[in-house]
Amino acid sequence: MVIPPLKTNQGVLDTDADKANALNDYFSSVFTRENNESFHLSCHKYPDIPPIEVTSSGVVNLLTKLNVNRSTGPD
């Protein structure tokens, strides 16, 4: 796949390296670096989920209960 030339304020860029550098310069200029030092997750709104145990017999049990006459869904 060929990426077409990229038009910038500095002119038209033809090489992949020039295009990548121009995009990098642009995206790094519009994003800010967050200060994560003051970010704390000390209070939990919901309790922790207990560990899930998956066994062969449990999987076989669930598979035998599937209705093979139903179509698949988006999940």
Asked if the structure places residue 50 within a domain, the reply is: no
Average pLDDT over residues 8-24: 92
What pLDDT does 39 receive? 63
In whole angstroms, how far apart are CA 23 and each of 2, 7, 16, 65, 67? 16, 11, 11, 52, 51
pLDDT tens digits, 46-68: 888 899 999 999 999 999 998 88
- Greatest mean pLDDT among 4-8, 36-40, 66-70 lies in 4-8
Domain count, the chain: 1
What pLDDT does 53 receive? 94
Average pLDDT over residues 38-53: 78
Asked if the structure places residue 4 within a domain, the reply is: yes
> What is the span of the domain harbouring residue 8?
1-31
Residues 6+ apart with CB under 8 A from 8: 22
The structure's pTM equals 0.42
